[in-house]
Amino acid sequence: MKLFIYLYPITMYVNWEIHNNAWSYYHERGLENREKGIAEYNIKIKSINNFINDYRKKGFKIAYLGFSKPSGELNKSLFSKIFNFLDTDSFINSKVTFRNHCKNEVYPDEKSIIKELMPLEELIVSGFHYSDCVEKFKNAAKELGVLSKIDGALTNNFFYLIKKSDDVYKELEMLQIEADEFKKRYGF
């Protein structure tokens, strides 16, 4: 099976990114009406669903990994309303509460989760946060022999990239070029 998984599509993470990016979206465009600029940005971020649908069209199953309630069941009430969840999508319980993750830095057992999803032909990982959970999940899949990649444009980077352009993949490529130049120039 080919699987696209979005990690932790929760309101707290999405709202943090909106808060950090909506103001600059409106400000950088010289928009006089703050509310109109923020409303325009909020419409743009919902385009994430179009990118996820592109994976559906390519034959990928779609899954979302979420935090659990203290009782142990999946806490879907944390999921953000910007996402268009379909009946055909899978919802996976990380078996870690949001509170325990944040307060005690507890992470799920990525390998156990991936083993439950097997057999996997290919895995595309996205969501929150690129340099933490997303990367850990991808690496765990690779260790289990699964062809896995990160879609960097559909991680927390998306909320920054979409304010720049509707072509988030082009913006991601430009950011990578800038990062590579920075590394060359400063040696890290």
Q: Give me the CATH number covering residue 181.
A: 3.40.50
In this prediction, the residues of the chain whose per-residue pLDDT falls under 70 are 22-34, 166, 175-188
Q: What is the pLDDT of residue 188?
A: 45
Distances from the Cα of 71 to the Cαs of 68, 74, 75, 96, in angstroms?
8, 9, 9, 10
Q: What is the pLDDT of residue 137?
A: 95
In whole angstroms, give the CA distance from residue 143 to residue 147: 10
Q: What is the pLDDT of residue 187?
A: 58
Helix (H) or strand (E) holding 62: strand 61-68
Q: What is the pLDDT of residue 85?
A: 96
Its domain, for residue 49, covers 2-186
Q: How many domains does the chain have?
A: 1
- Exposed, middle or buried by CB within 10 Å (0-12, 13-18, 19+), for 127? buried
Cis peptide before 119 (omega within 30 of 0): yes
Which residue, among 15, 24, 167, 7, has the nearest Cα to 82 in the 3D structure?
A: 15
In whole angstroms, give the CA distance from residue 72 to residue 13: 21
In whole angstroms, give the CA distance from residue 37 to residue 22: 8
Q: What is the pLDDT of residue 177?
A: 64
